[in-house]
Structure 1
Amino acid sequence: MQRNQTPVIEFILEGLPNTKELPSLFFLLFHLLTLLGNALTLLTVLCDPRLHALPMYCFLGHLSFLDTCLSSVTVPKILAGLAGPGGRTISFGGCAVQLYTFHFLASTECFLYTLMAYDRFLAVCHPLRYTVVMSRRACVGLAASTWLTGSLHAAIQATLTFRLPYCGPSRVEYFFCDIPAVLKLACADTAANQAVILANVGAVGAGCFLLICVSYAYIVSTILKIRTAQGRLRAFSTCSAHLSLVLLFYGPPVLLYLHPSSSHASDWAVAMFYVFTPLLNPSIYTLRNKELKKALRRLAYGQARSQNGTNG
């Protein structure tokens, strides 16, 4: 069927299915809680000298910032779509920026999880070398490399997607501009693009996940060699929070990219990933990390003393 040859200047997002009776307050509440939880974690790491000097908490601060931004890329557009049909419109440039930003943040977080697994591997398997290998300079350099690599990866995805002509239709069958949904609207053969893009995304995701699995294989092997049950429990507790977040992070995207044709179930699964996972991350780390809980209490106590001194 011949498509209209007029270049598309804006897209219309379908939004989430079956949300007509769902109040926007539902998503707004969880988005605000996500921002608050991650901001509190980041503030605690930055303000407590005992934490921001340790690599694990340095990476946790980056993770909290990434979760805040990743949630802000998609959830506001969900809220706008729930508010009315006008909120579902997005310009061509805005769509490109959203796609790039999403893949930039998501891939950076993927690389960061891999780096955190390596950090746990060194801490458990090579504790005597840990402080030497994970020096402050090395920690900053490794964290910066995740952002740089994520930026390059996202640039490749956005370039391959938007170098194609778009001349209608303009209705994106998704709740934000992502690669599988946008490619369906291109006025050209997208078979090669889909193969290259999905292979690229798959290689990054599978490569990072494989490295994480290898790290934890060594970690588990080392933990099992610890003679006392208390020692094994202490060693495993340092990794359990990170392992929980990895499973939450990889589940929904696998569902999406293994079934790019999409369905209502996969739409909702991925939407809940963007809404709930960034909210769960600070909760999981706070509940399972004694040092972070102590730092939160110190921060709260310090604020209370400062307030009392001001009132006095």
Structure 2
Amino acid sequence: MAYDRFAAICHPLLYDQVINSLLCKGLAWASWGLGFLAAFFNILPAMNLDFCGDYTTPQYSCELPSLFPLSCSDLYPSFTIMVFSILLYGLGTSFLISFSFAPIVSTILGISSFSGRSKAFSTCSSHFTIVLLFYGSAFHLMQTSGSAVEFIFSVQYSMVTPLVNPLFYSLKKMKRKQLCKGP
């Protein structure tokens, strides 16, 4: 989605040539593949944990950090894999998103009219909101306090953000198609 926003703002006249169906399919497959790979690397350490008693996790979803206090086995390998996964996927994707937003912000600031800047910003605002919701709630999942706020962030991270992301994206696409058709 970040690349789509980059193409829409920085290369609007070439958008249909840059964002073609082959690229969309490739980006979707890459996204799904990296998602499954990240899940796989986080499931392996969880399968090797030993639990000493009958405990329940205080979160909605069973994330790896919420299993650490319940385990009586050595956590170093699991923690190392989790940190590596966070660095690779969390920082890697946030770097790519930031890398795509830098030229977008530069292009928006270069637009001379206020209405043009406003329209360009509204194109990116929904994606930026989703990115903030996702990364903001992901950082709260690192806590294992079991509080109600942690439960809310867990639901937001695992259900709300993935549900709202395609909705915002498809609404932007429909709105853009209606604007191109005219009255």
Q: TM-score, normalised by structure 1?
A: 0.49
User: How far did residue 119 of structure 1 move?
Assistant: 1.3
Q: Does 1:173 align with 2:173?
A: no
Instruction: Assess if the C-alpha contact under 8 Å between 1:256 and 1:266 holds in 2.
Output: no
User: How far did residue 147 of structure 1 move?
Assistant: 0.6
1:101-155 C-alpha deviation (Å, 9 max, x unpaired): xxxxxxxxxxxxxxx0111112211234433332211111111111111111111
Q: Which runs of 5+ in 1 are unaligned?
A: 1-115, 296-312
Of 135, 140, 143, which residue of structure 1 is paired with 2:25?
140
Q: Does 1:226 align with 2:123?
A: no
Distance 2:111 2:51 in 1: 63
Which residue of the partner structure matches residue 7 of structure 1? none
Which residue of the partner structure matches residue 245 of structure 1? 130
Q: Alignment length, in residue pairs?
A: 176
Q: Which of the pair has more CA radius of gyration?
A: 1
Distance 1:174 1:202 in 2: 25
**Distance change >3 Å, CA 158–CA 226, structure 1 → 2:** same
Instruction: Assess if the C-alpha contact under 8 Å between 1:124 and 1:222 holds in 2.
Output: yes
Which residue of the partner structure matches residue 190 of structure 1? 75
Instruction: Assess if the C-alpha contact under 8 Å between 2:108 and 2:120 holds in 1.
Output: yes
Distance 2:17 2:45 in 1: 41
**Distance change >3 Å, CA 151–CA 201, structure 1 → 2:** same
Instruction: Assess if the C-alpha contact under 8 Å between 2:58 and 2:66 holds in 1.
Output: yes
Distance 2:163 2:136 in 1: 16
Which residue of the partner structure matches residue 91 of structure 2? 206
Pairing 1:41-56 to 2, within 5 Å after superposition: none
For residue 184 of structure 1, give the secondary structure of its aligned residue in structure 2.
helix
For residue 70 of structure 2, give the secondary structure of its aligned residue in structure 1.
coil
Aligned partner letter, 2:97: I
Which residue of the partner structure matches residue 255 of structure 1? 140
Aligned-residue identity in percent: 38
1:245-280 C-alpha deviation (Å, 9 max, x unpaired): 1111111111122x3x32415423324514654565
Distance 1:152 1:290 in 2: 29
Distance 1:152 1:289 in 2: 29
